[in-house]
Each structure stands twice: as C-alpha cells, then as structure tokens.
C-alpha cells in the first residue's frame, strides 16, 4: 500500500486518520495542505475516485463566500476554482494508488488492508 494523507495539523479528522494507519503499522506519507496542496493530477485522480467534485467540497467550510461562489459558478469552471482554493476541500484526503477517500472513513480504509 502507498498511503498519502492530505490534511492539516489542526484537523482532528486528519490526526485520527494518521492514528488509524499508525495503529495498524501501515506506513503513510503525510502532506500538509497549508504548505503544499494537491497537484493537478492528484486532484483529478481523487475527484474520479470519490465520484465527483461535489463529494470533495466541505459544506461546513468557514469560507462561506467561496462556497456560495462555487455553488453558482458555471459547472465547467467549478473544478478550476476549487483547485485554486483547496481550503474548502473536505479533509483528510487519503489516497492509496487510484483509490481515495475524503473525510474520516475508517470502514473504507479497512478494506484496503
């Protein structure tokens, strides 16, 4: 397994995801979204794996203006806007090759083992 966890140090779900893999002795790479976000390829791969852009957006994000903009922007421009503003993504984003999840989803991760 090649696990990557994209999140922030302040995110409790990110810390829980890291603990989940640590407890099982699974090595993972932790990427801080504040320092380095998803690359364009990673973003597209995650979007495909989770079933679309809407699954990736955190509707409880603090940036309400950006959420409103994304809600009403043209569909073909949404992905680019979210890619530019990755702060509204639901965290953690956990990747295992072509598989990916957004949010804390230990039930899915157990199936990866």
Domain boundaries, the chain: 3-112
Confidence bin at 61 (pLDDT 50/70/90): confident
Burial class of residue 85, CB neighbours in 10 A (0-12, 13-18, 19+):
middle
* C-alpha R_g of the chain: 14
Question: What's the burial of 105, exposed, middle or buried (CB within 10 Å: 0-12/13-18/19+)?
Answer: middle
pTM: 0.91
pLDDT band of residue 24 (cuts 50, 70, 90) is very high
Superfamily of 3-112 according to CATH = Glutaredoxin (3.40.30.10)
Has residue 113 got a pLDDT over 90?
Answer: no
């Amino acid at each position: 397994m090649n696990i990557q966890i994209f999140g922030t140090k302040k995110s409790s779900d990110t810390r829980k995801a890291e603990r989940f893999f640590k407890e099982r002795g699974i090595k993972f790479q932790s990427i801080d979204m504040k320092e380095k976000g998803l690359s364009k390829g990673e973003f597209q791969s995650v979007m495909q794996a989770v079933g679309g852009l809407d699954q990736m957006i955190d509707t409880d994000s603090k940036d309400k203006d950006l959420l409103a903009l994304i809600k009403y922007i043209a569909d073909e421009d949404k992905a680019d806007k979210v890619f530019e503003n990755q702060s509204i993504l639901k965290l953690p984003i956990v990747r295992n090759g072509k598989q990916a999840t957004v949010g804390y989803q230990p039930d899915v991760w157990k199936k990866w083992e």
